Amino acid sequence: MHNWHVYLSGEIHTDWRETIISRTEELNLPVTFSAPVTDHEASDDCGAVILGDESSKFWYDHKGAKVNAIRTRTLIETADIVVVRFGDKYKQWNAAFDAGYASALGKSLIVIHDPSLTHPLKEVDAAALAVAQTSEQVVDILKYVISGKLVR
Amino acid sequence: MHNWHVYLSGEIHTDWRETIISRTEELNLPVTFSAPVTDHEASDDCGAVILGDESSKFWYDHKGAKVNAIRTRTLIETADIVVVRFGDKYKQWNAAFDAGYASALGKSLIVIHDPSLTHPLKEVDAAALAVAQTSEQVVDILKYVISGKLVR
Amino acid sequence: MHNWHVYLSGEIHTDWRETIISRTEELNLPVTFSAPVTDHEASDDCGAVILGDESSKFWYDHKGAKVNAIRTRTLIETADIVVVRFGDKYKQWNAAFDAGYASALGKSLIVIHDPSLTHPLKEVDAAALAVAQTSEQVVDILKYVISGKLVR
Amino acid sequence: MHNWHVYLSGEIHTDWRETIISRTEELNLPVTFSAPVTDHEASDDCGAVILGDESSKFWYDHKGAKVNAIRTRTLIETADIVVVRFGDKYKQWNAAFDAGYASALGKSLIVIHDPSLTHPLKEVDAAALAVAQTSEQVVDILKYVISGKLVR
Amino acid sequence: MHNWHVYLSGEIHTDWRETIISRTEELNLPVTFSAPVTDHEASDDCGAVILGDESSKFWYDHKGAKVNAIRTRTLIETADIVVVRFGDKYKQWNAAFDAGYASALGKSLIVIHDPSLTHPLKEVDAAALAVAQTSEQVVDILKYVISGKLVR
Amino acid sequence: MHNWHVYLSGEIHTDWRETIISRTEELNLPVTFSAPVTDHEASDDCGAVILGDESSKFWYDHKGAKVNAIRTRTLIETADIVVVRFGDKYKQWNAAFDAGYASALGKSLIVIHDPSLTHPLKEVDAAALAVAQTSEQVVDILKYVISGKLVR
Amino acid sequence: MHNWHVYLSGEIHTDWRETIISRTEELNLPVTFSAPVTDHEASDDCGAVILGDESSKFWYDHKGAKVNAIRTRTLIETADIVVVRFGDKYKQWNAAFDAGYASALGKSLIVIHDPSLTHPLKEVDAAALAVAQTSEQVVDILKYVISGKLVR
Amino acid sequence: MHNWHVYLSGEIHTDWRETIISRTEELNLPVTFSAPVTDHEASDDCGAVILGDESSKFWYDHKGAKVNAIRTRTLIETADIVVVRFGDKYKQWNAAFDAGYASALGKSLIVIHDPSLTHPLKEVDAAALAVAQTSEQVVDILKYVISGKLVR
């Protein structure tokens, strides 16, 4: 049976990833999950901490963003499905960037967001194979897509 | 030894997949099979059931077809061989779509159909490496292609 | 300005291609159209007429379908947009095959069909960027997409 | 001499595109520019106007976003350079999506934004070959990259 | 209208290329032909003459074959159709190599050979979209494929 | 440690494959070998035996060659290294076809042949990363390339 | 969890690879390392020793370089991350070649070099996602990228 | 006739490009040449001059190298042939990087260097289809490859 690789991109301030992962494990589905580094401070500082401090904010961010890209690009490229969640805070341009990147690679894209964000996310939704509102729906999709079982 | 991935597309109202799978297992061939969801009603309703109902028939179908595409696109892309069976009922445009999709990806295509369908399927057959009439022939092809043994 | 290549696949028994082509020309849009051979008899007989007759119907059709594929594959691969029209007659599996082929190549897919065909075409529609009912709508899409002008 | 294709993505409420295009024309550089439809209302309504109205806001937006994608995907794919400008209004997730899409296709990415946006755009900037603040800088880059002349 | 690029590979001791080219020109078809260097001695000696003589026969041949590859690889890659003719003399492994190379790139392959060579060429023929016996048949194919006109 | 996939193409009338495989196994190298069906009669007859007899020699061969292609294309595509041996009998165009196919896919190509065949094989050799004369040399290459140990 | 493949290219006269490998093993990270043959003499002589001596220095080197390419190309292509270290001796054009090769394949590139080499390596650094000075920094990057843990 | 695109990479302190270009023009060959910016100071300073100065040498070089990459990557990708010349001065890692980049993209690579550099350039030469010592030889190759005429 195919082992599915699912990358969970986007919002890092709620526990939506844990919900998806734990419920999927309860269902014993053959899924390997991956995600960006979700420790916000580590993600911001990794470049400067590992490779040397920077006085300029631009280069401080730049170094960190590139180190993070080593992780995110590789894991998105190995994914079958990329799930991107947009929350109600922050600009989240990296989430939209990941959605575009995944889309150009032909990955199956699932987007999660509140209906209030439908208009600004319409281009992202248009590239998706599913637009969900909750983590539970994503689990239901994984269950159905992998096992063929639809719980009504 | 190479483990072969074989995707079984097309007709969902007869047991042709089971015939291929069970006989291949009896032969102990290193094959992993995959297929679309063959529960017709689940396949029709999955989008609306999981992601929310739709009053318009078009969008009801659209949501479901996209959720199913998460499964079918991924599994066709991981396949070495795509087998597509055309039966005598329904329009089966999704089967022909899968054949075209698999062909553009350079997959080895095997088509199964009754000789009475030769003319309307000529473009699909022209893209195939084998045109069979029965599930048994597909098993014979898998046996020969994988083990190199030809039973006369 | 980008010169757009549009391939018109599918139904060959009505004048839908001429409608699209003549109205697009009237609009002076930078579009080059291409299409399969729409002379049904030539399309059926080309293999046997050029390369030698065949006593078997299967190989007669096979030779012709492959000669036609020289044209269709090349022109689909050079297209930016592939328009596929499904009519109310014939099995039209070659149209669905072309849609799958174009989709796997990442072409922008526009499908034209009557609403009565929505259910059997749902997988094809799900891969499309637009589902139209008339040739006029396709011209409107080309006009909007290329010139940016939307006529209300 | 190579004719350069430059796609101008992002912000549609200021005249930054006109600045780049007119100054590049003054320099007689061999550049063909393209861009999304920048008439905001046309861009929102194109799907429903051409293909039929929708009562649901989600599908109304969805149809429009897909029609727009016919234009944007094709033009991004033909571009050598994709310039993405982020302004100070709106969520602009489509701009970030385009940046990700272009990046995965290996296009040369130039980003324009105010330094105040450095932190939320760090992942996008990390994928870029140049991060500019003004349209004039983009013209200077085009001039230098194409003609090899650097004005100090 | 699409301008077709046709590469004529294989046998260099008869005038089959001239036949195809002159008849195609008479028909005013939009075709650009290309071919390997057909001056046998120049083809053998080009490496050593241009880049310096070699005492070893192996390296003498090697240098020449690589210089020729600059031409052949580039022109095969730009071709829509690759025609390969096998004659009755010499081993012609380079012709079969070109056929394999073209096939892996997804080019439309047309093979020309005498029926007496059917058995040893069966793998090459299996990858072709047309198997012809004469240059005239290739011209007929080009005429039909490009213009859609079938002369009976 | 990387597990190497090596496809052994070409001559089927000597035991050169067994020599390579058995010596590689003695060295405990992490290599998976694959090859075409080397039972000459099975290879010729597989199409007609499995899918139905053909009265025409051309189609008899054609069916068989296509069934064999299901095996050979898949295994060449999964290979890291493709070894092609040319013997002193038969036309062996399928071996040269495989070499061209592998080369276009960017596989590492190793050719084995007697020095007497250097001139007609110069184009094939020019695409190879090693030109050997014996199976033992191929084993030495595998040993060196995989383990880094060079026995002098 | 994703198993990471890391290719260690460049300088072969210090023990920088051992430092990275042993420290990564101590951290129990899921990484498979690969590298070119680092036995300088074996690397120089492999072609001539295995495939036969050459009187010309050029072809002696050529044969060896191609045999080594069987290893290096395959392993770079299977890598997620390519680390290239430039030391203070030798011309190291093969290291820069590997960096270019990896970059065109879209691999995540990490470069290690002393700050004194910043200017001549600026084009290589510009293609990298991280520029380190020590092996320890590379281990820190691997640790962070794979485990998400940042040690300050 | 195919118009050939030739990119001239490497050494920027002698007039080897002008020699190739002027002699090719005299021969009226259909070749479009391109090259990196060969004004050394402009190439070093372009990033800082256009996008703003940098106090750190590393980022000063980094900005410039990325702006230059907009030109070099695009032009290498559109080239049929990439010629790389190594001189006797400087480290020239960017030349070797370009050679690796071009090689991974499957471009035809021609290397020019003095025989004294054979050993350190052996990996680069191994990826090339021709290794020349002079600009005249490159012109002779272009003449032969494009026109098929070999001057002895």
Q: Using a CB–CB cutoff of 8 Å, tell me whether B105 touches chain A.
A: no
Output DSSP code: residue A121.
T
Average pLDDT over residues G27-50: 98
Looking at the structure of chain A, the number of domains it has is: 1
Q: Using a CB–CB cutoff of 8 Å, tell me whether E59 touches chain G.
A: yes
Q: What is the rounded CA–CA span in Å between residue D107 and residue D128?
A: 9
User: Can you read off the two tokens belonging to residue H130?
Assistant: 């021709």
Q: Smallest Cα–Cα separation from B87: which of B119, B134, B34?
A: B134
Show residues of chain G in contact with E55, CB under 8 Å: 55
Q: Where are the alpha helices (DSSP H) in chain A?
A: 16-26, 40-51, 57-78, 93-104, 122-126, 135-147
Asked if residue D50 belongs to a domain, the reply is no
Q: Using a CB–CB cutoff of 8 Å, tell me whether G59 touches chain E.
A: yes
Domain interval for residue C122: 4-38+78-147
Touching partners of H (3+ C-beta pairs < 8 Å): A, D, E, G
Q: Smallest Cα–Cα separation from H59: which of F30, E85, G115, F39?
A: G115
The whole-angstrom distance between H6's CA and the closest CA on chain G is 18
Q: H/E element holding H130?
A: strand H130-132
What ipTM was predicted for this assembly? 0.97
Provide the mean pLDDT of chain E.
Answer: 97
Q: Is the pLDDT of residue F110 over 90?
A: yes
Dihedral class, residue E16 (left if φ above 0, else alpha if ψ from -120 to 50, else beta): alpha
Asked if residue H65 belongs to a domain, the reply is no
Q: Using a CB–CB cutoff of 8 Å, tell me whether A66 touches chain G.
A: yes
Q: Is the pLDDT of residue H116 over 90?
A: yes
Q: H/E element holding G10?
A: strand G4-10
pLDDT band, residue F9 (cuts 50/70/90): very high
Asked if residue D65 belongs to a domain, the reply is no
Q: Do G104 and H99 touch (CB under 8 A)?
A: no
Show residues of chain A in contact with H55, CB under 8 Å: 55
Show residues of chain E in contact with G65, CB under 8 Å: none
Q: Using a CB–CB cutoff of 8 Å, tell me whether B56 touches chain D.
A: yes
The dihedrals phi and psi of F115, each to the nearest 5 degrees, come to -55, -25
Nearest to G93 among H69, H96, H102 (CB): H96
Q: Smallest Cα–Cα separation from F63: which of C62, B24, B103?
A: C62
User: Can you read off the two tokens belonging to residue G90?
Assistant: 């030798």
- Residue B137 has what pLDDT? 98
Q: What is the rounded CA–CA span in Å between residue D70 and residue C31?
A: 14
Asked if residue D114 belongs to a domain, the reply is yes
The whole-angstrom distance between D57's CA and the closest CA on chain B is 13
Residue with tokens 């050679």, as numbered in its chain = H99
Q: What is the rounded CA–CA span in Å between residue C61 and residue C71?
A: 16
Show residues of chain A in contact with G131, CB under 8 Å: 51
Query: Could you read off the pLDDT of E59-96 as tens digits, one per residue?
Result: 999 999 999 999 999 999 999 999 999 998 889 999 99
Burial of F30-67, coded b for 16+ CB within 10 Å and e otherwise, reads ebebbbbbeeeebbbbbbbbbbeebeeebbbbbbbbbb
C122: exposed, middle or buried (Cβ count in 10 Å: 0-12, 13-18, 19+): buried
Beta bridge partners of F9: F84
pLDDT band, residue B90 (cuts 50/70/90): confident
Average pLDDT over residues G141-151: 97
Transcribe chain C into DSSP letters: -PPEEEEEEE--SSSHHHHHHHHHHHTT--EEEE-----HHHHHHHHHHHH---SSHHHHHHHHHHHHHHHHHHHHHH-SEEEEE--SSS--HHHHHHHHHHHHTT-EEEEE--GGGTTTTHHHHHT-SEEESSHHHHHHHHHHHHH-----
* pTM exceeds 0.95: yes
- Residue E18 has what pLDDT? 98
Q: Tell me the CA distances in angstroms from F136 to D63, F9, F18, F22, F139, one per residue in order.
A: 64, 16, 11, 11, 5
Q: Do D145 and H34 touch (CB under 8 A)?
A: no
The whole-angstrom distance between H62's CA and the closest CA on chain E is 34
pLDDT band, residue E1 (cuts 50/70/90): confident
Q: Is the pLDDT of residue G89 over 90?
A: no
Average pLDDT over residues B108-130: 98
Q: What is the rounded CA–CA span in Å between residue D112 and residue D104?
A: 19
Q: Smallest Cα–Cα separation from A15: which of A136, A110, A105, A121?
A: A136
Q: Is the pLDDT of residue F89 over 90?
A: no
Which of D8, D70, D75 is the best mutation test for C, with the most CBs of C within 10 A? D70
Q: Using a CB–CB cutoff of 8 Å, tell me whether B144 touches chain F.
A: yes
Q: What is the CATH classification number for the domain harbouring D122?
A: 3.40.50.450
Q: What is the rounded CA–CA span in Å between residue G114 and residue F62?
A: 61
Q: Is the pLDDT of residue H114 over 90?
A: yes
Output DSSP code: residue A118.
T
Q: Is the pLDDT of residue G39 over 90?
A: yes
Show residues of chain D in contact with H48, CB under 8 Å: none
Touching partners of F (3+ C-beta pairs < 8 Å): B, C, E, G
Q: What is the rounded CA–CA span in Å between residue E71 and residue E78?
A: 11
Show residues of chain G in contact with F149, CB under 8 Å: 42
Output DSSP code: residue E31.
E
Asked if residue B21 belongs to a domain, the reply is yes
Query: Could you read off the pLDDT of C17-28 as tens digits, one per residue?
Result: 999 999 999 999
For residues A136 and A16, the answer to whether their CB atoms sit within 8 Å is no
Question: Helices F57-78 and F40-51: crossing angle, nearest 10°?
Answer: 110
The whole-angstrom distance between A45's CA and the closest CA on chain H is 18
Percentages helix, strand, coil for chain G (3-state, rounded to 5) are 50, 15, 35
Q: Tell me the CA distances in angstroms from D96 to A12, D53, D85, F29, one per residue in order.
A: 18, 28, 9, 47
Q: What is the rounded CA–CA span in Å between residue A121 and residue C33?
A: 33
Show residues of chain B in contact with F45, CB under 8 Å: 150, 152
Average pLDDT over residues H128-142: 98
- Residue D1 has what pLDDT? 81
Q: C-alpha dihedral over G98, G99, G103, G107, to 10 degrees?
A: 80
Task: Kindly list the averaged pLDDT for each block of 10 residues, start to end, along chain D of length 152.
Answer: 96 95 98 97 98 98 98 98 94 97 98 97 98 98 98 89
Q: What is the rounded CA–CA span in Å between residue C87 and residue C106?
A: 24
Which of G74, G75, G105 is the best mutation test for F, with the most CBs of F within 10 A? G74
Provide the mean pLDDT of chain F.
Answer: 97
Q: Do G45 and F150 touch (CB under 8 A)?
A: yes
Nearest CA in chain D to B60: D59
Q: Using a CB–CB cutoff of 8 Å, tell me whether C64 touches chain B.
A: yes
How many helices and strands (H and E) does chain H possess?
6, 5
Asked if residue A64 belongs to a domain, the reply is no
Average pLDDT over residues F105-110: 98
Nearest CA in chain B to C68: B123
User: Can you read off the two tokens belonging to residue F4?
Assistant: 């190497």
pLDDT band, residue H149 (cuts 50/70/90): very high
Average pLDDT over residues G21-41: 97
Which amino acid appears at position F7 of this protein? Answer: Y
Chains C, G in contact, 3 or more Cβ pairs below 8 Å: no
Average pLDDT over residues H75-97: 96
Beta strand A108-112 with B4-10: parallel, antiparallel or unpaired?
unpaired
Chains G, B in contact, 3 or more Cβ pairs below 8 Å: no
- Residue H67 has what pLDDT? 98
Q: H/E element holding F108?
A: strand F108-112
Average pLDDT over residues F73-87: 98
Q: Using a CB–CB cutoff of 8 Å, tell me whether A59 touches chain H.
A: yes
Q: Is the dihedral of CA B36, B37, B38, B40 positive or negative?
A: negative
Question: Helices G93-104 and H93-104: crossing angle, nearest 10°?
Answer: 40
Beta strand F31-34 with F108-112: parallel, antiparallel or unpaired?
unpaired
Higher pLDDT residue, F141 or H88?
F141
Chains G, A in contact, 3 or more Cβ pairs below 8 Å: yes
Q: What is the rounded CA–CA span in Å between residue F97 and residue A129?
A: 40
User: Can you read off the two tokens belonging to residue F39?
Assistant: 């039972």
Q: Using a CB–CB cutoff of 8 Å, tell me whether E1 touches chain C.
A: yes
Q: Using a CB–CB cutoff of 8 Å, tell me whether D144 touches chain H.
A: yes
User: Can you read off the two tokens belonging to residue H41?
Assistant: 């100071």
Question: Helices D57-78 and D40-51: crossing angle, nearest 10°?
Answer: 110
Chains F, D in contact, 3 or more Cβ pairs below 8 Å: no
Question: Helices E57-78 and E40-51: crossing angle, nearest 10°?
Answer: 110
Interface of A with D in 72-101 (CB under 8 A): 86, 90-101
Q: What is the rounded CA–CA span in Å between residue G109 and residue A49?
A: 19
Nearest to C64 among B64, B98, B122 (CB): B122
Which of C57, C59, C60, C66 is the best mutation test for F, with the most CBs of F within 10 A? C59
Provide the mean pLDDT of chain A.
Answer: 97
Q: Using a CB–CB cutoff of 8 Å, tell me whether A70 touches chain D.
A: no
Q: Is the pLDDT of residue C1 over 90?
A: no
Nearest CA in chain B to A79: B74
Show residues of chain B in contact with D56, CB under 8 Å: 56, 59
Q: Do E122 and F64 touch (CB under 8 A)?
A: yes
Asked if residue H116 belongs to a domain, the reply is yes
Q: What is the rounded CA–CA span in Å between residue D98 and residue D73?
A: 9
Q: Using a CB–CB cutoff of 8 Å, tell me whether E105 touches chain F.
A: yes
Q: Is the pLDDT of residue H28 over 90?
A: yes
Q: Using a CB–CB cutoff of 8 Å, tell me whether B132 touches chain F.
A: yes
Query: Could you read off the pLDDT of A52-87 as tens digits, one per residue?
Result: 999 999 999 999 999 999 999 999 999 999 999 999
Show residues of chain A in contact with B45, CB under 8 Å: 150, 152
- Residue D89 has what pLDDT? 87
pLDDT band, residue G59 (cuts 50/70/90): very high
The whole-angstrom distance between A115's CA and the closest CA on chain G is 32
Contacts of H122 (CB under 8 A, 6+ apart): G61, G62, G64, G65, G94
Q: What is the rounded CA–CA span in Å between residue A135 and residue B85?
A: 36
Q: C-alpha dihedral over D140, D146, D149, D150, to 10 degrees?
A: 30
- Residue E143 has what pLDDT? 98
Asked if residue D86 belongs to a domain, the reply is yes
Q: Tell me the CA distances in angstroms from F89 to B28, B58, E94, E96, F12, one per residue in order.
A: 36, 63, 17, 16, 10
User: Can you read off the two tokens belonging to residue H74?
Assistant: 């695009």
Give all strands of the β-sheet with E130-132 in edge-to-edge order.
Answer: E31-34, E4-10, E81-85, E108-112, E130-132
The whole-angstrom distance between G8's CA and the closest CA on chain F is 14
- Residue C90 has what pLDDT? 87
- Residue G98 has what pLDDT? 98
Chains F, C in contact, 3 or more Cβ pairs below 8 Å: yes
Q: Using a CB–CB cutoff of 8 Å, tell me whether C39 touches chain E.
A: yes
Beta bridge partners of F6: F33, F81
Provide the mean pLDDT of chain G.
Answer: 97
3-state helix/strand/coil string of D76-135: HHHCCEEEEECCCCCCCHHHHHHHHHHHHCCCEEEEECCHHHCCCCHHHHHCCCEEECCH
Show residues of chain G in contact with F1, CB under 8 Å: 32, 34
Q: What is the rounded CA–CA span in Å between residue F20 and residue F25?
A: 9
Show residues of chain A in contact with G149, CB under 8 Å: 42
- Residue A1 has what pLDDT? 82
Nearest CA in chain F to B1: F32
Q: What percent of chain H has pLDDT over 70?
A: 100
